[in-house]
Amino acid sequence: MKNILYIFTLVICFSCSSAKAQNYMTHKVKSGESIETIAKKYKVTKSHILELNPDAKNGIKKNTVLIIMKTGGVKPGNSNTKQPTNTTGLNKIEKTQEVKELTGYKKHKVKRKETLYSLSKKYNVTEAEIKKYNTFLYANNLRKGDKLQIPVFKKVIEKEVNSPIVQYTVLPKEGKWRIAYKYGITVPELEALNPNLSEVLQPGQKINVPNLDAANVKQVDEMYSYYTVKAKEGFYRLKINTGLEQSELERLNPGLAESGLKEGMVLKIPYNGATQATQANNNTDVVDNVHQINKLENAILDTETKNIAIMLPFQLNSVNTDSIFDAKQKIKNSRALALTLDFYSGVLMAFDSLKKLGVNLKVDVYDTQNRLSHTTALVRNNDFSNTHAVIGPLFPKNFNAVAAALETRNVPVISPITKSVNLGNNVFQSRPSEDNMEKKIIDYFIADSTAQVIIISDIKHKAKSTMLKSNFTNAKLVSSRLDKKTKKDAHYIIEQDLLNVIKPGKNVVFLETDNPNFVSNVSSMLNALLQDKTEIILTTTNHNKAFEYEEVSNYHLSNLKFTYPSISKIVNEESNLKFIKDYKAKYNTSPNTYAIRGFDLTMDVVLRMVSSQDIYKSVIEAPLTSYIENKFSYKKKLFGGFYNDSVYIVRYNNLQIDEVKQ
């Protein structure tokens, strides 16, 4: 009898074990498999596999044995399990949990003494949830004046979590790539979950997505762009299309190193022009087309007073303001002061225009005296906590000091004219870099496959000639001749040097030098070779003062359609533009390049603040803006701030300088 009872007990135990085992299976990893492919095979989520196989978080190898939960199964150790009344229905056991479903956002402007804790209690959300939807709070403390988007959730509901698929409500402006990214799947996988899914999704539409824990759902960071991997696209091709190394892509996309690239995978990348063209062809809701100019004057949303600081080297400490003559002499003898006053005159014109648009500003103007010690004292002794943006200082050392001091407060600092500054997280470099301008002109002529390319350089610019040759492999090289006695660069060529390389048809001639005599020598000889069947276009990667000296004939440059990259286009003084007329009426002179830049930059900075939540968000919402002579298209550096990559290509035409349409 004892034996019978023992056997009966074994049978019962075995039966119970078998019933539980029906909810799990094992899988032996094969070569080339990843957690994602295994999850797809068994119709479970990646998080389910990792929960049952914690070691898999560090990667999986061939022959690794994984525990897989069957669809509809129950996980071990669930205290929230609903026990069925029928013991034969173990595969229908349900586990439920409380979840929140995002329905939208409330806007909140932080007031004095408010904290994340007080806001979480006020809106019945957690501090973590506030940070999740306001990502700048991960790196910065909450401060008065911050504008937050507070998530609004539906009433807590219960859903089955043992089902691998749940329903998702499409939010406004969401496309397939965005939802695929959120749930860690490819676009084709999303389409497989939703047969007959239309190309364009509608707000409120219900679609199937993987059942992930809320913590595993990714948020789309609007300060980045997103790239959809094409068929057979590897890391080499991705580097060409995005400019990013494999290690950088893996750092930005956790799990990529483990899973490898897959067609339709959505990758997070820095927002830059190299990827934008590709994205525009594939994902209509990634970013606006870079060629579409945003008119922010028509998009003003925020009429609250904005605080802006202007930091310029007026050098009032060295100007005798009691003597008009002395002041004029100081301006005449100080290029920095003259530039500052021209720039500031444009800033004041912008303030007038903004006032007419209904924009309310509180402006603080600081004299940096062009001294580092004084500049740092200004930042130390003044309160910038409520400042929405700082324009200036003009020169690198002072600018870098201000930007570094204000970085922890997340105050945007905009560099007006400096070629090179430290690109901290809060820095906006408004002047396109020399490298960027160089790239634009090279790309422009690479696109013209019909032209013969000739590269002329002096000894000083030999490296530039070599670089150009690497881009134009069939180009002919011509070097300046040496002085026979000294063996130094004589900065000239002879006619035969050109006759050997100039051919009938279109000839593009790069001239790389900063010597005006060499520019005069080459341009005059090229001009003499122009014929009906021989077209010659002169260009350079660096338009410097050598091309503007009196020795250089503007007639020759015009005949040669001299073409070069520029940070600005040229507006004719006789233009009927309202700004030109108003400036002349106010200052009794025409605005120069610096005055116009002061106007354009100030208009852009302020309009970005009042048409978006802040300047940082405006980078996404207004990818390209254009004003009198300057345009701004900011891109984010991978680990740093923002740079303007918008460059004009201009050309001499009938003694005028015209913008070349790109």
118 belongs to a structural domain = no
3-state SS assignment for residue 167: strand
- pTM confidence score: 0.58
322 belongs to a structural domain = yes
CB-neighbour burial class of residue 330 (10 A; exposed 0-12, middle 13-18, buried 19+): middle
Domain, as residue range, for 496: 435-566
Identify whether the C-beta of residue 536 lies closer than 8 Å to the C-beta of residue 529. yes
Q: Which residue has the tokens 């080499």?
A: 236
Please say which residue of 566, 585, 614 terminates a domain. Answer: 566
Please say which residue of 547, 566, 585 terminates a domain. Answer: 566
475 belongs to a structural domain = yes
H or E stretch covering 335: helix 335-356
Name the stretches of the chain with pLDDT < 50: 1-23, 72-95, 159-161, 272-291
Residues 423 and 406 in one domain: yes
Residues 497 and 605 in one domain: no
Residues 484 and 363 in one domain: no
126 belongs to a structural domain = no
Q: Which residue has the tokens 């009196």?
A: 550
3-state SS assignment for residue 224: strand
Task: Transcribe 264-325 into DSSP letters.
Answer: T-EEEEE--HHHHHHHHHH-TTSS--TTSPP-GGG-----S-EEEEEEE---GGG--TT-HH
Q: Which residues, at least 6 apart from 121, have a Cβ–Cβ distance to it below 8 Å?
A: none
Radius of gyration of the chain (CA): 32
CATH code for the domain of 52: 3.10.350.10
H or E stretch covering 380: helix 372-381
Question: Whats the size of the chain, residue-wise?
Answer: 662
Residues 526 and 502 in one domain: yes
CATH code for the domain of 557: 3.40.50
Residues 466 and 514 in one domain: yes
Q: Which residues, at least 6 apart from 594, have a Cβ–Cβ distance to it below 8 Å?
A: 339, 342, 343, 346, 417
Q: Which residue has the tokens 């022009």?
A: 273
Residues 511 and 635 in one domain: no
Please say which residue of 504, 537, 566 terminates a domain. Answer: 566
Residues 485 and 420 in one domain: no
Query: CA–CA separation, 593 vs 148, rounded Å?
Result: 38
Q: How many CA atoms lie within 13 A of 659 on its CB side?
A: 14
207 belongs to a structural domain = no
Structure confidence at residue 92 (pLDDT): 33
155 belongs to a structural domain = no
Total domains in the fold of the chain:
3
Could you tell me the two tokens for 81? Answer: 């399990």
Structure confidence at residue 528 (pLDDT): 95
Residues 451 and 421 in one domain: no
Q: Which residue has the tokens 């020169």?
A: 395
509 belongs to a structural domain = yes
Residues 587 and 501 in one domain: no
Q: What are phi and psi of 579, to 5 degrees?
A: -60, -45
Q: What are phi and psi of 24, to 5 degrees?
A: -135, 155
Give CA separation, 272 vs 1, 143, 226, 642, in Å.
81, 30, 10, 10
Query: CA–CA separation, 350 vs 296, rounded Å?
Result: 14
H or E stretch covering 497: helix 495-499
76 belongs to a structural domain = no
CATH code for the domain of 328: 3.40.50.2300
Residues 464 and 451 in one domain: yes
Identify whether the C-beta of residue 558 lies closer than 8 Å to the C-beta of residue 527. no
Structure confidence at residue 186 (pLDDT): 86
Residues 455 and 556 in one domain: yes
Residues 577 and 549 in one domain: no
Query: CA–CA separation, 205 vs 227, rounded Å?
Result: 24
Structure confidence at residue 319 (pLDDT): 66
